[in-house]
Amino acid sequence: MIVEEKDQGQRVDQYLSEVLDISRSKVQTLIKEEKILVNGESVKPNYSVKKDDNIEVNDDLDFTITVEPEDIPLDVVYEDDDLLVINKKSGVVVHPAAGHYSGTLVNALLYRFNLSSKDPIRPGIVHRLDKDTSGLMLVAKNDKTHEALSDMIKDRLVERHYLALVDGVIKHETGTIDAPIGRDSNNRQKQAVTEVNSKDAITHFKVLERFDKNTLLDCKLETGRTHQIRVHMNYIGFPIVNDPLYNNRKHNDFGQMLHSKSIKFTHPRTKEELYFEVEAPEEFQNKLEELIQIDS
């Protein structure tokens, strides 16, 4: 696998733990046994990965994932020769990983499109959405576009807004959460606000509507860390409604009420400013209708 610029600076054990979806201790064991090579050489677990590093994992457990095209319905909002804008459904995993080798967004994309080849497991994927987060995503069709879009996201030139329904009533009209995020030391499935092996994370929010016990927010990402909005809202005491990982209250199978509603960016080749917006899924809208009726 090839390290992208957005991932550089991470410890190699942390990076591989996330990419391969295995424990950090397992990665460290493989490193000790010299079954993980970076650019053909053995490294220590604290090695900081760099852009374009070539990482090989050689182990009896087969981490090589063959990504097969699958005829799965897609909601394509925009397409040209360079890129796609996809409206991802809640419940869809973005790319194959341990436990999810088929039925992913990547499987569906490969059936219909030629994608960038920078990462064979995540072809075309410039940024990710969590499985149960719905909405807009950028996908690159070629390596040049992939690199350009990745750089734009890194340089904060892609404007992304999310709808988020949270538990609790936020009194401030607007706010900014500036708190670093890294792996939760007590639960490897979770992220947390921490100073340990973390990266800067900034989320801006604006109140759209208040209900009796909930608040509807517009959240703007300045950075794009794993689970960022979910972690940040929980950190300030207003977890996302129906979030099974960060909200201890009752939840159903739909997943968190978080939707990537709009995206604005300059096309890397044509230099045209593009803006796209999609409505939240039916389950999200039904929940809002339910809260409106309760308040009326």
Question: One-letter amino acid identity for 45?
Answer: P
3-state secondary structure of 295: helix
- The Cβ of residue 134 has, within 10 Å, a number of other Cβ atoms equal to 30
Question: One-letter amino acid identity for 17?
Answer: S
3-state secondary structure of 97: strand
- The Cβ of residue 293 has, within 10 Å, a number of other Cβ atoms equal to 8
> What is the Cα–Cα distance from 56 to 191, expressed in whole angstroms?
26
Question: One-letter amino acid identity for 275?
Answer: Y
Question: One-letter amino acid identity for 148?
Answer: A
> What is the Cα–Cα distance from 86 to 141, expressed in whole angstroms?
13
Catalytically active residues, by annotation: 130
3-state secondary structure of 176: strand
The answer to whether 83 and 140 have CB atoms below 8 angstroms apart is yes
For the chain, the maximum distance between any two Cα atoms, rounded to a whole number of angstroms, is 66
Torsion of CA 42, 40, 126, 13, to 10 degrees: -10
> What is the Cα–Cα distance from 86 to 138, expressed in whole angstroms?
7
- The Cβ of residue 120 has, within 10 Å, a number of other Cβ atoms equal to 13
> What is the Cα–Cα distance from 155 to 179, expressed in whole angstroms?
18
